[in-house]
Amino acid sequence: RLMTPAQQQTLFDNTARALGDAGDAVKQRHVANCSLADPAYGAGVAAALARLQAARA
């Protein structure tokens, strides 16, 4: 809301990297918590996690 789209993307990417080695259940729970705060935040973190996982494959 107060961040630019670029700042939001940086937040999503940083959050995904911080969760990188966590188990899938932890990642899903964190995305759910982010979504409770702001649905766009949860969606952004989920998308960043998916990109990170695809890059590691």
**Positive/negative CA dihedral, 23, 39, 50, 48:** negative
Flag whether the pTM goes above 0.85: yes
Contacts of 9 (CB under 8 A, 6+ apart): 44, 48
The percent of residues above 90 in pLDDT, for the chain, comes to 89
The number of domains in the chain is: 1
Query: Given the structure tokens 């998308």, which residue do they identify?
Result: 47
Within 10 angstroms of residue 46's Cβ, the number of other Cβ atoms is 19
What is the domain extent for residue 23?
A: 5-56
Contacts of 1 (CB under 8 A, 6+ apart): 38
Inform me whether the pLDDT recorded for 47 exceeds 80: yes
